[in-house]
């Protein structure tokens, strides 16, 4: 039985070795870049580039055993898959699939042969002592190897994104910051919102928290004209004026409150993100000059505008309380945005000081607290810092552990 992991390996290592490719509908496919292997939520390969027919596309690639797995996994409801440009499958069992072009691997005898060799090699790897140790009671993880591997992977993803956004560091990192504020549930919506607004317009309103809130809420389609809510009405008026002046168009991406703590509600995170930008904290030149983690200590005290002290959603009032960015979101911003930026900048400019700085900051930062880290700790792994927690996440995701931590 072929596994998706074997198909992933084939796509990454061997897809360009099988000659002419055609989609199910007969379009010629030329693979320019297979993309970056994604071990997190979303499509299997990100930032792929290929020519399909006469059109060159940049986007994501999703790989399944069967075409129907797309619907079995409910990707049609997940905006992370909205920019999928190719669906690679072993068996095409839905002939009228029309969400994106389909490439069938089992129809190509060269691909069939190469994939069979990958399958046999994968079966041998499973039998090695190193892999067996992954499932044993006593675990040893090479923190240095896996921590650097994760840093390099994130940096490569950021550099790919940089190329897409015309090598504009500010614009690229801003998208990553917005994605982080969106948390796992709304990361794609926040990312798309960030890039739907010209970055110069964000800089123009960079110190006006209210205008930024109007832009962010408006672009996500969260504003309405309501004379009974003065704050909402003012945001709506500002956004309407900005739309008319700069020809903005709101997005169709939905945002969700489901299965999340109220402090993570998108409205709260959007207001906090506005305060973060308005406070002057998005400054990549300053990030390059930091010496240690103390430079980020004040982030967690950044809070929403006054309206959100007594609201989690528009119009529905709650008990008043300051809603800070918090320690965990601060850690997420540093670990997932600014440290990868420093590492990627060092790789791009060949300035190794930035690579060393990124590694040192990650070693100084406290470890993340999530179900995967807690699971590994329960199996005897001691985690001292964020470098080690990132190493565990990379190791865990790379091997796609068969256990399901609670």
pLDDT band at 113 (very low <50, low <70, confident <90, very high): low
pLDDT greater at residue 394 or residue 398: 394
pLDDT band at 141 (very low <50, low <70, confident <90, very high): confident
Alpha carbons 216 and 202: distance in angstroms, whole number: 10
R_g over Cα of the chain: 23
DSSP conformation letters of 17-78:
GS--EE-TTS-EEEEEE--EE--SSS-SEEEEEEEETTEEEEEEEEEEEETTHHHHTTGGG-
Q: Mean of the pLDDT values across residues 55-84?
A: 88
pLDDT band at 151 (very low <50, low <70, confident <90, very high): very high
Q: What percent of the chain lies above the pLDDT cut of 70?
A: 88
pLDDT band at 140 (very low <50, low <70, confident <90, very high): low
Q: Where are the domains of the chain?
A: 4-126, 144-392
Helix axes 143-164, 386-399, angle to 10 degrees: 80
Alpha carbons 215 and 174: distance in angstroms, whole number: 15
pLDDT greater at residue 398 or residue 164: 164
User: Is residue 123 scored above 80 in pLDDT?
Assistant: no
Q: Determine how β-strand 102-104 pairs with β-strand 84-91.
A: parallel
Report the length, in residues, of the chain.
406
pLDDT greater at residue 106 or residue 335: 335
Angle at 331 between CA 329 and CA 336, to 5 degrees: 95
- Give me the pLDDT at residue 114, please: 63
Place of tokens 């389909």: 102
CB 182 within 8 A of CB 191: yes
pLDDT tens-digit series, residues 183-198: 887 888 899 899 999 9
User: Is residue 133 scored above 50 in pLDDT?
Assistant: no
Place of tokens 């969700």: 256
CB 212 within 8 A of CB 202: yes
pLDDT band at 124 (very low <50, low <70, confident <90, very high): very low
User: Is residue 343 scored above 90 in pLDDT?
Assistant: yes
* 328 C-beta neighbours (distance < 10 Å), count: 15
- Averaged pLDDT of the chain: 86
pLDDT greater at residue 24 or residue 346: 346
User: Is residue 241 scored above 50 in pLDDT?
Assistant: yes
Q: H or E stretch including 172?
A: helix 169-181
Q: Which residues contact 318 (CB under 8 A, 6 or more apart)?
A: 310, 311, 312
Q: Determine how β-strand 55-66 pairs with β-strand 84-91.
A: parallel
CB 54 within 8 A of CB 27: no
* 204 C-beta neighbours (distance < 10 Å), count: 12
pLDDT tens-digit series, residues 244-299: 999 999 987 778 887 778 899 999 999 999 999 999 999 999 999 999 999 999 99
* 47 C-beta neighbours (distance < 10 Å), count: 21
- Give me the pLDDT at residue 330, please: 96
Q: Dmax of the chain from CA atoms?
A: 68
Place of tokens 């964020």: 386
Q: How buried is residue 196: exposed, middle or buried, by Cβ count under 10 Å (0-12/13-18/19+)?
A: middle
> Which of 212, 338, 360 has the alpha carbon at shortest distance from 285?
338
Place of tokens 């994968």: 122
User: Is residue 173 scored above 50 in pLDDT?
Assistant: yes
Q: What are 90's two structure tokens?
A: 């072993």
Q: H or E stretch including 312?
A: strand 311-313
User: Is residue 110 scored above 90 in pLDDT?
Assistant: no
pLDDT tens-digit series, residues 81-90: 888 999 999 8
Distances (CA, A) of 197 to 170, 232, 283: 13, 20, 18
Place of tokens 């190794």: 352
């Amino acid at each position: 039985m072929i596994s998706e992991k074997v198909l992933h390996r084939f796509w990454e290592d061997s897809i360009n070795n099988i000659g002419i490719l055609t989609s199910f509908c007969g379009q010629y496919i030329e693979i320019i870049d297979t993309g970056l292997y994604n071990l997190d939520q979303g499509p299997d390969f990100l930032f792929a580039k290929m020519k399909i027919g006469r059109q060159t596309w940049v986007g994501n690639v999703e790989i399944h055993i069967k075409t129907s797995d797309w619907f079995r996994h409910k990707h049609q409801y997940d905006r992370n898959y909205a920019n999928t440009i190719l669906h690679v499958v072993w068996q095409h069992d839905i002939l009228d699939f029309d969400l994106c072009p389909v490439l069938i691997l089992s129809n190509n005898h060269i691909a069939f042969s190469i994939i069979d060799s990958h399958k046999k090699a994968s079966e041998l790897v499973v039998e090695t002592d190193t892999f067996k140790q992954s499932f044993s009671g006593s675990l040893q993880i090479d923190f240095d190897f896996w921590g650097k591997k994760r840093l390099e992977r994130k940096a490569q993803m950021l550099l790919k994104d940089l190329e897409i956004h015309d090598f504009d560091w500010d614009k690229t990192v801003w998208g990553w910051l917005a994605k982080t504020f969106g948390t796992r549930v709304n990361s794609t919506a926040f990312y798309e919102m960030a890039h739907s607004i010209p970055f110069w317009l964000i800089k123009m309103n960079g110190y006006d928290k209210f205008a930024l809130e109007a832009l962010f809420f408006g672009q996500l389609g969260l504003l309405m004209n309501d004379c009974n809510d003065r704050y909402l009405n003012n945001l709506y008026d500002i956004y309407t004026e900005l739309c008319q002046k700069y020809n903005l168009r709101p997005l169709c991406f939905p945002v969700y409150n489901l299965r999340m703590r109220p402090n993570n509600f998108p409205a709260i995170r959007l207001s906090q993100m506005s305060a973060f930008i308005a406070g002057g904290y998005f400054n990549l030149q300053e990030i390059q000059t930091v010496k240690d983690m103390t430079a980020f200590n004040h982030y967690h005290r950044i809070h929403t505008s006054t309206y959100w002290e007594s609201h989690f959603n528009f119009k529905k009032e709650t008990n008043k309380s300051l809603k800070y960015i918090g320690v965990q979101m601060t850690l997420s911003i540093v670990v997932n945005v600014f440290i990868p930026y420093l590492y990627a900048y060092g790789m791009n400019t060949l300035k190794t000081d930035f690579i060393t700085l990124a590694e040192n900051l990650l070693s100084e930062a406290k470890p993340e607290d999530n179900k995967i880290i807690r699971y590994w700790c329960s199996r005897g792994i001691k985690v001292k810092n964020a470098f080690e927690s990132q190493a565990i996440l990379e190791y865990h995701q790379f091997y796609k552990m068969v256990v399901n931590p609670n």
